Amino acid sequence: MAVCNVCFRHCNIPEGGNGFCGGRVCENGNVVAGNYGRITSIALDPIEKKPLSRFCPGSLILSVGSYGCNLRCPFCQNNSISWSEEAMHLADRAEYIDPGTLADIAASYQSRGNIGVAFTYNEPLIGYEFVRDTAKLIHERSMKNVMVTNGTAELSVLEELLPYIDAMNIDLKAFTDRFYTDLIGGNRNQVLAFIKKAASCCHVELTTLIIPGENDSIEEMRELTAWVASLPDGADIPLHVSRFFPQFHMRDRAATDISLIYRLADVARETLHYVYTSNC
């Protein structure tokens, strides 16, 4: 039995067992990344797809993902590798690629415009050791590292990664504790602390998916953007306001009205300089 110290859950994991996220395991009394190097998805993507709009625009980046997640968003678009029943059985089926091999693959695509590696698709922080080890090698090859994350991790984990991460897109899923606690099983305060620290050290962009009836009020958007703007140079942090479509376990409502997305983006522009709309 051992305690995992990656996120607020601090799972007490029995020997041979998995943590809540499905990606961390207890081996010989120590918690390790059971999904280390286990790759479920790999693609050469436009950087704007992460989404990052103000970091190396027009470039491509090799995007990789594993399995598992420490949140339970019922609207997850990558549920097949995050926390669905299917995702929880990927440990033995995902292909193993060690950090050196992945760095070599990334370098081999430089001639096609690849600038580095993006750790994305599932939640990369639950396997942060693989991110750290690979990112070191990517930097040695003078390439870039990007992380797409929900920001649900202790600052000690973030500090291990910050020397090697050049840019992040972090989900700021809402600005109420009700949303984080009741809907997705998260911890808003941990995410806010993560964003504040990350934004002081590397390029950060934020994404908020607007879900009808959950986080779609003008008042909440004003509170969210006021907090972002209060950070050092916070008004220059880009925010992506994204449209929800029904999927996975949240099919009980229609897609977000496009006019609302544009309205909320205009509200965000009252305090932030760079606001983008997506899925519209």
Q: Distance between CA 183 and CA 73 in Å, rounded? A: 7
Residue 85 has pLDDT above 90, yes or no: no
Residue entry with tokens 């020397």: 163
- Nearest to 149, CA basis, from 71, 87, 212: 71
Residue 1 has pLDDT above 90, yes or no: no
Confidence of residue 89 (pLDDT cuts 50, 70, 90): confident
Tokens 């009205």: give the residue. Answer: 257
Q: Which domain holds residue 143?
A: 36-278
pLDDT digits (tens, 9 = 90+) for 100-112: 999 999 999 999 9
Does residue 30 belong to any structural domain of this protein? no
Over residues 266-272, the mean pLDDT reads 98
pLDDT at 59: 98
Count of domains in the chain?
1
Average pLDDT over residues 185-206: 98
Residue 9 domain-assigned (yes or no): no
Nearest Cα residue to 170 out of 144, 190, 142, 185: 190
Tens digits of per-residue pLDDT, 203-236? 999 999 999 999 999 999 999 999 999 999 999 9
Question: In this prediction, what percent of the chain has a pLDDT beyond 70?
Answer: 100
**pLDDT grade, residue 91 (50/70/90)?**
confident
Average pLDDT, the chain: 97
191 falls within a domain: yes
Spatial neighbors of 150 by CB under 8 A, at least 6 apart, are: 69, 70, 71, 123, 125, 170, 171, 173, 186, 191
Asked whether residue 20 is domain-assigned, the answer is: no
Task: Please report, for the domain that includes residue 230, its CATH number.
Answer: 3.20.20.70
Residue 90: pLDDT over 90: no
- 218-230 vs 258-268: helix axis angle to the nearest 10? 30
- Quick check: is 269 in a domain? yes
